């Protein structure tokens, strides 16, 4: 949370549910006004679709045919509350119809399906046809916050986990790559590189000093020029 890195195109991971959605619409509008080929992407959960500004953003992006991809990671829970306790139907993908844009429902645990759906949306965005909503259906293995698995939430959750754990997208992709003739050693070497990178990042974060209290208001208010 709270990560911002404009040079790499990251305009903010925001703790307010759904608040990244209008940011992506703004980025898409900027891209259109500049006539550049950049496509803005908003990632959000199923819970965010219950926020009003999600629908306002989808509507505006469709109306102005902005190059935006709305990626809803539907893991069927908003904190501990299941999707069908919060809405009558499992129909998030139809949110796109209401705004007048295509909605594509994808197996979010299938890397190649997500890649294909994304490329379709990128092509639409770059050809000036406007935004697309991708509903990527997946499941949350861990609790909403922290490392617990949330099985204390009930038997239902245990059954769902049993069903979803074997659908691990990394294991599935690995199986596909092995079938395609990629050598197991090559995959192991990739895994080692990724693990080393993550461990180095964690070590860097742990060794870094905490910000100074005086930084609290930096970049919050414009400083007055005397």
Ligand X SMILES: Cc1ncc(C[n+]2csc(CCOP(=O)(O)OP(=O)(O)O)c2C)c(N)n1
Q: Is 46 in the site for Mg ion (CB under 5 A)?
A: yes
Residue of 17, 29, 30, 173 interacting with ligand X (CB under 6 A): 17
In the β-sheet with 40-45, what is the strand arrangement from edge to edge? Answer: 40-45, 68-74, 132-137, 103-107
Task: Give me the least distance between CB of 208 and ligand X, in Å please.
Answer: 26
Task: Give me the least distance between CB of 77 and ligand X, in Å please.
Answer: 5
Residue 17 binding result from ligand X, Mg ion, none, given CB thresholds of 5 to 8 Å by partner type: ligand X
Residue of 105, 124, 137, 140 interacting with ligand X (CB under 6 A): 140
- DSSP letter at 78 equals E
User: In Å, how far from its chain's centre is CA 98?
Assistant: 21
| CA separation for the pair 10, 24 (Å, rounded) | 10
- Listed in sequence order, the DSSP H helices in the chain are 20-34, 52-63, 83-86, 95-99, 111-126, 155-164, 169-179, 184-207
Residue of 27, 31, 32, 46 interacting with ligand X (CB under 6 A): 46
Q: Is 71 in the site for ligand X (CB under 6 A)?
A: no
- Cβ atoms of 74 and 134 within 8 Å: the answer is no
Residue of 78, 109, 118, 138 interacting with ligand X (CB under 6 A): 78
Q: Is 144 in the site for ligand X (CB under 6 A)?
A: yes
Cβ distance to Mg ion smaller for residue 75 or 132: 75
Strand partners, 105: 135
Q: Is 53 in the site for ligand X (CB under 6 A)?
A: no
Task: Give me the least distance between CB of 95 and ligand X, in Å please.
Answer: 14
Q: Is 14 in the site for ligand X (CB under 6 A)?
A: no
Residue of 75, 95, 109, 132 interacting with ligand X (CB under 6 A): 75
Q: Is 45 in the site for ligand X (CB under 6 A)?
A: yes
Residues for the chain: how many in total?
A: 226
User: In Å, how far from its chain's centre is CA 198?
Assistant: 19
- Listed in sequence order, the DSSP H helices in 49-143 are 52-63, 83-86, 95-99, 111-126
Residue of 20, 57, 75, 109 interacting with Mg ion (CB under 5 A): 75
Binding residues (CB under 6 A) for ligand X: these are 15-17, 45-48, 75, 77-79, 140, 144
């Amino acid at each position: 949370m709270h990560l911002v890195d404009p040079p790499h195109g990251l305009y903010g991971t925001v703790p307010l549910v759904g608040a990244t959605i209008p940011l992506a619409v703004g980025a898409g509008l900027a891209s259109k006004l500049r006539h550049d080929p950049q496509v803005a992407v908003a990632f959000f959960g199923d819970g965010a679709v219950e926020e009003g500004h999600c629908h306002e953003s989808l509507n505006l992006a469709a109306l102005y045919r902005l190059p935006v991809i709305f990626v809803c990671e539907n893991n069927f829970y908003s904190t501990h509350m299941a999707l069908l306790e919060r809405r009558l139907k499992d129909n998030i993908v139809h949110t796109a119809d209401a705004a007048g844009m295509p909605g594509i429902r994808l197996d979010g645990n299938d890397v190649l399906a997500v890649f294909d759906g994304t490329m379709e949306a990128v092509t639409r965005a770059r050809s000036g046809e406007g935004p697309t909503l991708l509903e990527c259906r997946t499941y949350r293995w861990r609790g909403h916050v922290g490392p617990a698995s949330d099985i204390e939430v009930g038997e239902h959750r245990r059954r769902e986990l049993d069903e979803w754990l074997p659908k691990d997208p990394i294991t599935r992709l690995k199986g596909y790559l092995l079938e395609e003739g990629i050598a197991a050693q090559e995959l192991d070497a990739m895994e080692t590189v990724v693990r080393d990178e993550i461990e180095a990042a964690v070590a860097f974060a742990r060794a870094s000093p905490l910000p100074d209290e005086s930084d609290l208001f930096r970049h919050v208010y414009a400083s007055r020029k005397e």
